[in-house]
Structure 1
Amino acid sequence: MCSNKIKEDKFKKLEQFIDKIPNDQSSLIEALHEAQHIFGYLPDDVQSYIAYRLNVPVTKVYGVVTFYSYFTTKPRGKYVINICMGTACFVKGANLILEEFEKELDIKAGETTEDGNFTIEVLRCVGACGLAPVVTVNDKVYGHFKKEDVKKVIESYSEKEV
């Protein structure tokens, strides 16, 4: 299937979602969440489309996208690895875990591997301080994470690619 057809299908899916929600600013975050779920990120054309459909200025949409760390304007990998750097996690060695992920994947925080499989990101706080240090991969939470766990986690998600 050609990439234009894929993108067209994604816009159609977003259109169907927006048709079911209030057509105003109150639906902005909900629409952005769904758009990021569909597209994997929020490129300019998707932000413009949402602004148009919700009758909200594009600058307002962009302001929300850039304010919340959940949203991204760059493509992410299939597996997004988030390392919590909140106080409890940092004190328990989250910085060393981040360094190990960067070393193993040969990318820095905020970057995606060339094969598009992994993105490393840093969060301010996951809100699971009792599990510190915390790492998430997509929606899966790993508590009491150790530097030694890095290779195992990467391997387990790499095996899913086979």
Structure 2
Amino acid sequence: MKKQIAPKDLQPENFSFSDPKQITKIINKYPPEYKKSALMPLLFLAQEECNGWIPTKAMAEIGRILNVTPLHVLEVASFYSMYNLSPIGKYHIQVCQTTPCWLCQSDNVLNAIKSFLEIDVSHTTEDNLFTLSVVECLGACTNAPIVQINNDFHENVTPESIVSILTCIKNDNM
């Protein structure tokens, strides 16, 4: 599924990292001739500072820092599922759709989530609490199907158990 960049009205007018020392620390992990290797960690930092997504101004700033084009930064950010190019809900639900999870009925889990939250893949609930995504391999195939919610992994998920988990999250946020 192609990632969509957030529309202009959601993009901030400018971006700068909150702690320049953090940028230096990240870049210094790499030899000077491989400074561009800091691209992915800088994308993570920008996403963290922007509440879970990476605005175009942040990509431009990363490009400036690493002396690469903003397009190059966009190409990397749009290739990997762990980067979000538009705002997401407070809880980002990622359902693995790789073959082992699919064979273990991840499509039923996905349908249960869609039905419970009344949203489709790549959408966010009206209250901005949940965003739903499908991803490739969350790396726990022996315990499929797997669902990641923010930084928490839920293994051996069933349609019933995921609805229970989401109900708990919803109730804690009311």
Range into which the TM-score falls when normalised by the shorter chain: 0.7 to 0.9
Cα contact 1:14–1:34 (8 A) shared by 2: no
How many equivalent residue pairs? 155
Query: Pick from 47, 62, 69: which aligns with 2:81?
Result: 69
SS of 2:16 mapped into structure 1 = helix
Query: Identity over aligned residues, as a percent?
Result: 31
Tell me whether 1:43 sits opposite 2:48 in the alignment.
no
SS of 1:13 mapped into structure 2 = coil
Tell me whether 1:21 sits opposite 2:32 in the alignment.
no
Any stretches of 5+ residues in structure 1 without a counterpart?
1-6
Structure 2 counterpart of 1:113 = 125
Cα contact 2:17–2:46 (8 A) shared by 1: no
SS of 2:114 mapped into structure 1 = helix
TM-score (norm 2): 0.82
Measure how far apart 1:70 and its partner are.
1.0
Q: Deviation string for 1:111-162 (max 9, x for gaps)? A: 1111111011111111111111111111111111111113211111113313
Report the CA distance shift for 1:35/1:14 in structure 2 as closer, same or farther (over 3 A): farther
Take 1:15 and 1:72, find their aligned partners in 2: how far apart are those partners?
23
Take 1:108 and 1:15, find their aligned partners in 2: how far apart are those partners?
38
Structure 2 counterpart of 1:31 = 42
Measure how far apart 1:72 and its partner are.
1.3
Cα contact 2:105–2:145 (8 A) shared by 1: yes
Take 1:17 and 1:127, find their aligned partners in 2: how far apart are those partners?
29
Take 1:14 and 1:74, find their aligned partners in 2: how far apart are those partners?
23
Take 2:17 and 2:81, find their aligned partners in 1: how far apart are those partners?
26
Measure how far apart 1:14 and its partner are.
5.2
Take 2:123 and 2:20, find their aligned partners in 1: how far apart are those partners?
30
Any stretches of 5+ residues in structure 2 without a counterpart?
1-11, 29-34
Structure 1 moving runs of 4+ over 6 Å: none
Q: Deviation string for 1:60-92 (max 9, x for gaps)? A: 101101111111111111111111111111111
Cα contact 1:131–1:144 (8 A) shared by 2: yes
Cα contact 1:14–1:38 (8 A) shared by 2: no
Report the CA distance shift for 1:58/1:115 in structure 2 as closer, same or farther (over 3 A): same
Q: Deviation string for 1:26-78 (max 9, x for gaps)? A: 21111001111111101111111111122211111011011111111111111
Tell me whether 1:90 sits opposite 2:102 in the alignment.
yes
TM-score (norm 1): 0.88
CA RMSD of aligned residues (A): 1.9
